[in-house]
């Protein structure tokens, strides 16, 4: 009996499947596929306005992909590389963005309500008028990001340097947000931190006390904390 050898999928040197086009992704999604883990989408692919709700792009490479106006509710983007990607006006609700990279991307007017953004890298990203209602920004990196008009509402600002937010004079505080001691320790040198904390809903006396405590500790103690 003759045995027919199945053709193996082509893979790149990192073990990911062959680069997929936007048409490939949309076609597979319409046919019911939701697991796109570790795929590599061609750079600059056009997925603007696409409905990808419930899909998993865990560890995927989506560099400079256009997701403007896309529906990404309940999408898994943990560890994904979206460097330079466009998510302008995208709906990114209740989405796992832990360890994702949005460096130099366009996140303006995107809705991140309920998103988990632990350790998300947003260096030099355009985040103007983005909404972070009930979002978790634990250890997120906002260095160099354009944060004009950003909306904070029950946002969790834990263990990150909020100096970029402190320096932005056009934030929108819709409802009180949470600022923890580790964030104060990382941000206490910023001259606008006190006002930022008060705007977040921290009572002035508590905000002043937390900042004074951080200033009173020496550098070795701060590093150990």
Q: What are phi and psi of 128, to 5 degrees?
A: -60, 130
Q: How confident is the model at residue 10 (pLDDT cuts 50, 70, 90)?
A: very low
Q: Are 54 and 32 in contact (CB under 8 A)?
A: no
Q: How far apart are CA 52 and CA 37, in angstroms?
A: 13
pLDDT at 27: 97
Average pLDDT along the chain: 91
Q: How confident is the model at residue 217 (pLDDT cuts 50, 70, 90)?
A: confident
Q: Are 158 and 117 in contact (CB under 8 A)?
A: no
pLDDT digits (tens, 9 = 90+) for 64-120: 999 999 999 999 999 999 999 999 999 999 999 999 999 999 999 999 999 999 999
pLDDT digits (tens, 9 = 90+) for 198-212: 999 999 999 999 999
pLDDT digits (tens, 9 = 90+) for 164-184: 999 998 999 999 999 999 999
pLDDT digits (tens, 9 = 90+) for 38-49: 999 999 999 999
pLDDT at 11: 53
Map residue 86 onto helix, strand or coil.
strand
pTM of the full structure: 0.87
What sign for the dihedral angle of Cα 102, 146, 128, 168? Answer: positive
Q: How far apart are CA 20 and CA 167, in angstroms?
A: 40
Buried b (16+ CB within 10 A) or exposed e, 103-141: bbbbbbbbbbbbbbbbbbbbeebbbbbbbbbbbbbbbbb
pLDDT digits (tens, 9 = 90+) for 132-173: 999 999 999 999 999 999 999 999 999 999 999 999 989 999
């Amino acid at each position: 009996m003759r045995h027919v050898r199945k053709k193996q999928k082509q893979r790149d040197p990192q073990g990911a499947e062959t680069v997929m086009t936007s048409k490939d992704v949309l076609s597979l999604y319409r046919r019911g596929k939701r697991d796109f883990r570790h795929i590599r989408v061609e750079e600059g692919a056009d997925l603007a306005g696409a409905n990808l709700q419930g899909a998993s792009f865990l560890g995927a490479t989506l560099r400079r992909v256009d997701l403007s106006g896309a529906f990404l509710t309940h999408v898994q983007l943990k560890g994904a590389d979206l460097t330079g990607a466009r998510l302008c006006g995208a709906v990114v609700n209740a989405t796992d963005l832990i360890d994702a990279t949005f460096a130099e991307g366009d996140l303006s007017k995107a809705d991140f309500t309920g998103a988990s953004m632990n350790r998300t890298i947003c260096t030099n990203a355009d985040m103007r008028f983005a909404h972070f209602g009930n979002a978790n920004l634990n250890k997120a990196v906002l260095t160099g990001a354009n944060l004009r008009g950003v909306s904070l509402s029950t946002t969790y600002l834990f263990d990150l340097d909020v100096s970029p937010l402190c320096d932005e004079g056009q934030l929108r505080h819709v409802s009180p947000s949470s600022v923890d001691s580790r964030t104060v320790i990382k941000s206490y040198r910023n001259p606008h931190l006190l006002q930022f904390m008060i705007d977040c809903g921290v009572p002035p006396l508590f905000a002043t006390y937390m900042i004074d405590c951080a200033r009173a500790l020496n550098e070795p103690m701060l590093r150990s904390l």
